Amino acid sequence: MQVFPTILPEVKIIRPRRFRDARGWFAEVWNERRFAELGIDAAFVQLNIAGNDAAGTIRGLHFQRPPSAQGKLVWVVEGSILDVAVDLRRGSPRFGRHAAVPLNADEGDLLWVPEGFAHGYCTTSPRTRVVYKVTQFYDPQAEAGVRFDDPALQIDWPVEEGRATIAPRDRDLPLLKDLVPAFEYGAEA
């Protein structure tokens, strides 16, 4: 297993080793001990999957407020996405900056998005399935987000805004400048 940095040091790309033979391949995508050695000491409590039928589907940018804040380990099991994490920690030298990472089922990379970051993605192929493990249970009272198309974030989504499939609730999320602070830089556990 290898770890690669992104523009946001806390957000990491994880590349599991694939063992290939005549049958295909096998990969270990989660090993608590190995991840701890890589600096990701996470206890996961829930496993989610999102099915997306069309390319150009945008989900996000979502997060949960403390004490229900979630770290997420994201991977694509079918299709491809552009995965995006935005630093929401007030006082961070990277506050409001984002990492945009292409993920696809063929390569099998995973993305670690810790607490304090909003998360979203855009499908870049039809029939995409995204699986993610989270460190806290879903809490509708803690659910929050920031607008995917906030000009301050400067995210270059791989779909024209007018052609994207987006939930009405995601269109109505606040801009970063209007977001009530939920995380402070340096307050991470």
Give the CA distances from residue 179 to residues 30, 31, 91, 167, 182, in Å, rounded to whole numbers and listed in that order: 33, 35, 14, 19, 8
| Average pLDDT for 19-28 | 91
Residue 91 confidence (pLDDT) above 90:
yes
Residue 186 confidence (pLDDT) above 90:
no
Q: What pLDDT does 160 receive?
A: 87
Domains and CATH numbers, the chain: 2-176 (2.60.120.10)
Give the CA distances from residue 89 to residues 25, 182, 186, in Å, rounded to whole numbers and listed in that order: 39, 8, 8
Residue 189 confidence (pLDDT) above 80:
no
Among the options 98, 119, 121, 132, which is catalytic?
A: 132
Find out whether the peptide bond into 67 is cis, omega within 30 degrees of 0. yes
Distance of CA 92 to the CA centre of its chain: 19
| Average pLDDT for 158-169 | 92
103-116 pLDDT tens trace: 999 999 999 999 99
Check if 132 is active-site.
yes
| Average pLDDT for 156-177 | 94
Among the options 62, 98, 119, 121, which is catalytic?
A: 62
Q: What pLDDT does 188 receive?
A: 65
Q: What does pLDDT average to over the chain?
A: 95
Q: What pLDDT does 161 receive?
A: 75
> What is the pLDDT confidence band of residue 183, given thresholds at 50, 70 and 90?
very high
Q: What pLDDT does 162 receive?
A: 86
| Average pLDDT for 72-85 | 98
Instruction: Say how many C-beta atoms besides its own lie within 10 A of residue 97's C-beta.
Output: 14
With CA atoms as reference, report the closest residue to 16 among 111, 100, 90, 81. 111
| Average pLDDT for 26-32 | 90
Instruction: Say how many C-beta atoms besides its own lie within 10 A of residue 96's C-beta.
Output: 18
Check if 98 is active-site.
no
Q: What pLDDT does 133 receive?
A: 97
Residue 121 confidence (pLDDT) above 80:
yes
